[in-house]
């Protein structure tokens, strides 16, 4: 088998943690395949220094496609660069984080290379020289094992499902100079809106504090923000679709079938009933804590810890406990 390529996303001058997960997963997989793992970073020139750190996660060659015009996602240009690198390197497996960008790019690459995409992987193994990809199906109620024998095999990884692992690679920086022709590009980024920079994105947070309709109004999110702050910088906010539809929270925070799929080590579901579409996005979390005043709420069926009670009483007490010296 030839090598594994990880497509590593960047955000505001740094590598995204889901991209580092993809690099770590590529290194582990390459070891099992008896081959090497490389990285491709497409982004603005400022990313140059940060990209070098990928050698600490096992990257052999780090392909850099850097240009100020690539600070934001340009689907057709990113895809063109990736196809060129994949073909030249004759990579057998290409791993992308299952973020919005990763899923969009994987689809484009699949079409351009005429190969299928294995989406939302939570585990990858090699059996008799063939790749086996495990992924949750039917809103996470069952696990499907997919065997793929096309080259290259494109795989998107569920954010949070693959651990970040340090390991030494050769770390040869292979720089790519691009002849960019913006006049040829059919799209242009007019403006960009980013969510709160104070807390990590829900898909990358290792602790998620999610709220639902049980919180009654958007002002109640102050309680969740306070809990989040006590849980530390790894904690991010999530929401059910009911509150996103009500305009209480942005869609970028929605967890579930039509929102983001997350796999944090700790997930708080507060005032969330646990509809199957919500569970689809979070049931693979490490530990699930549910707070709901209805003891029959379906969320308790997937929760590791359940607190039957009023969120307006339980959440401030939890925050207070964490704030106390004993809670630290
Ligand atoms: P509710 O179902 O209204 O539940 C509120 C909960 O709060 C109840 O369990 C109640 O007991 C509890 N509660 C009330 N007051 C308190 C209190 N004071 N303290 C503690 N608990 C309290 N949903 C998603 O979340 N994500 C998706 O991606 C998604 N995609 C969907 C896609 C499709 C095609 C469809 C049809 C639906 C989708 N939904 C999705 C909607 C989903 O079916 C539910 O309607 C939604 O998840 C319910 O949100 P909720 O749990 O916040 O609200």
- Banded pLDDT at 305 (limits 50, 70, 90): very high
Asked whether the predicted pLDDT for residue 193 surpasses 90, the reply is no
Sequence-separated (6 or more) residues with CB below 8 Å from residue 191: none
For the residues 100-110, what does the mean pLDDT come to? 96
- A 10 A CB-CB count for 158 gives 22
More confident call, 246 vs 130: 246
CB 96 within 8 A of CB 106: yes
Asked whether the predicted pLDDT for residue 320 surpasses 70, the reply is yes
Task: Indicate which atom in ligand 1 lies nearest the CA of residue 211.
Answer: 52
Q: 241 CB less than 6 Å from ligand 1?
A: yes
Asked whether the predicted pLDDT for residue 179 surpasses 70, the reply is no
Measured between alpha carbons, how far is 290 from 292 in angstroms, rounded to an integer?
6
pLDDT of amino acid 137 = 86
Q: 166 CB less than 6 Å from ligand 1?
A: no
Choose which residue among 203, 223, 240 to substitute to test ligand 1 binding: the one with the highest number of ligand atoms within 8 A of its C-beta.
240
Choose which residue among 209, 212, 310 to substitute to test ligand 1 binding: the one with the highest number of ligand atoms within 8 A of its C-beta.
212
Asked whether the predicted pLDDT for residue 176 surpasses 80, the reply is no
- Banded pLDDT at 284 (limits 50, 70, 90): confident
For the residues 58-73, what does the mean pLDDT come to? 88
Asked whether the predicted pLDDT for residue 170 surpasses 70, the reply is no
Q: 297 CB less than 6 Å from ligand 1?
A: yes
pTM for this model (two decimals): 0.79
pLDDT of amino acid 129 = 84
The CA 262 to ligand 1 mean position distance, Å, reads 17
* CA angle (124 as vertex; 123, 130 as ends), nearest 5: 150
Which residue, by CA, sits nearest to atom 10 of ligand 1?
Answer: 214
pLDDT of amino acid 191 = 78
- By mean pLDDT, which of 3-7, 172-176, 284-288 is the weakest? 172-176
Choose which residue among 227, 239, 257 to substitute to test ligand 1 binding: the one with the highest number of ligand atoms within 8 A of its C-beta.
257
For the residues 162-173, what does the mean pLDDT come to? 76
Asked whether the predicted pLDDT for residue 266 surpasses 80, the reply is yes
Task: Indicate which atom in ligand 1 lies nearest the CA of residue 243.
Answer: 52
Q: 99 CB less than 6 Å from ligand 1?
A: no
pLDDT of amino acid 69 = 83
Measured between alpha carbons, how far is 250 from 133 in angstroms, rounded to an integer?
32
pLDDT of amino acid 196 = 62
Measured between alpha carbons, how far is 116 from 21 in angstroms, rounded to an integer?
22
Whole-number average pLDDT of the chain: 90
Q: What is the pLDDT of residues 8-28, one digit of tens each?
A: 999 888 899 899 999 999 999
- Banded pLDDT at 70 (limits 50, 70, 90): confident
Q: What is the pLDDT of residues 212-221, one digit of tens each?
A: 999 999 999 9
The CA 233 to ligand 1 mean position distance, Å, reads 27
Characterize the bridge pairing of strands 142-148 and 93-97.
unpaired
More confident call, 293 vs 181: 293
Give all strands (DSSP E) within the chain, no chain letters: 4-8, 10-11, 14-15, 37-43, 61-66, 93-97, 117-121, 123-127, 130-137, 142-148, 153-157, 172-176, 207-211, 235-239, 266-270, 287-292, 305-308
The CA 242 to ligand 1 mean position distance, Å, reads 6
Q: 278 CB less than 6 Å from ligand 1?
A: yes
Asked whether the predicted pLDDT for residue 328 surpasses 80, the reply is no
For the residues 300-305, what does the mean pLDDT come to? 97
pLDDT of amino acid 178 = 60
Which residue, by CA, sits nearest to atom 20 of ligand 1?
Answer: 292
Sequence-separated (6 or more) residues with CB below 8 Å from residue 138: none
Q: 313 CB less than 6 Å from ligand 1?
A: no
- Banded pLDDT at 169 (limits 50, 70, 90): low
Q: 136 CB less than 6 Å from ligand 1?
A: no
Task: Indicate which atom in ligand 1 lies nearest the CA of residue 299.
Answer: 9
pLDDT of amino acid 103 = 95
């Amino acid at each position: 088998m030839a090598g594994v390529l990880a497509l590593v996303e960047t955000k505001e001058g740094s590598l995204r943690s889901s991209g580092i997960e993809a690099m770590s997963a590529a290194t582990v997989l390459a070891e099992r395949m008896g081959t090497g793992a490389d990285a491709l970073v497409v982004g603005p020139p400022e990313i140059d220094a940060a990209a070098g750190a990928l050698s600490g996660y096992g990257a052999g060659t780090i392909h850099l496609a850097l240009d100020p015009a690539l600070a934001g996602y340009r689907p057709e240009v990113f895809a063109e660069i990736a196809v060129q690198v994949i073909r030249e390197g004759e990579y057998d497996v290409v791993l992308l984080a299952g973020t919005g960008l990763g899923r969009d790019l994987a689809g484009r690459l699949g079409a351009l290379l005429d190969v299928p995409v294995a989406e939302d992987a939570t585990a990858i193994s090699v059996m008799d020289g063939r790749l086996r990809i495990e992924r949750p199906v039917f809103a996470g109620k069952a696990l499907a094992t997919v065997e793929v024998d096309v080259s290259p095999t494109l795989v998107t990884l569920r954010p949070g499902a693959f651990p970040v692992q340090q390991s030494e690679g050769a770390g040869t920086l292979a720089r790519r100079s691009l002849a960019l022709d913006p006049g040829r590009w059919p799209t242009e980024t007019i403006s960009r809106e980013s969510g709160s920079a104070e807390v990590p994105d829900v898909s990358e947070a290792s602790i998620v504090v999610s709220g639902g309709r049980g919180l009654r109004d958007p002002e109640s999110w102050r309680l969740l923000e306070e809990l989040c702050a006590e849980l530390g910088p790894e904690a991010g906010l999530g929401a059910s679709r009911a509150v996103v539809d009500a305009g209480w929270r942005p869609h970028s925070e929605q967890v579930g079938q039509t929102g983001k799929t997350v796999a944090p080590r700790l997930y708080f579901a507060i005032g969330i009933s646990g509809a199957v579409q919500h569970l689809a996005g979070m049931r693979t979390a490490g530990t699930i804590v549910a707070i709901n005043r209805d003891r029959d709420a379906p969320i308790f069926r997937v929760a590791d810890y359940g607190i039957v009670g009023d969120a307006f009483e339980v959440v401030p007490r939890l925050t207070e406990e964490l704030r106390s010296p004993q809670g630290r």
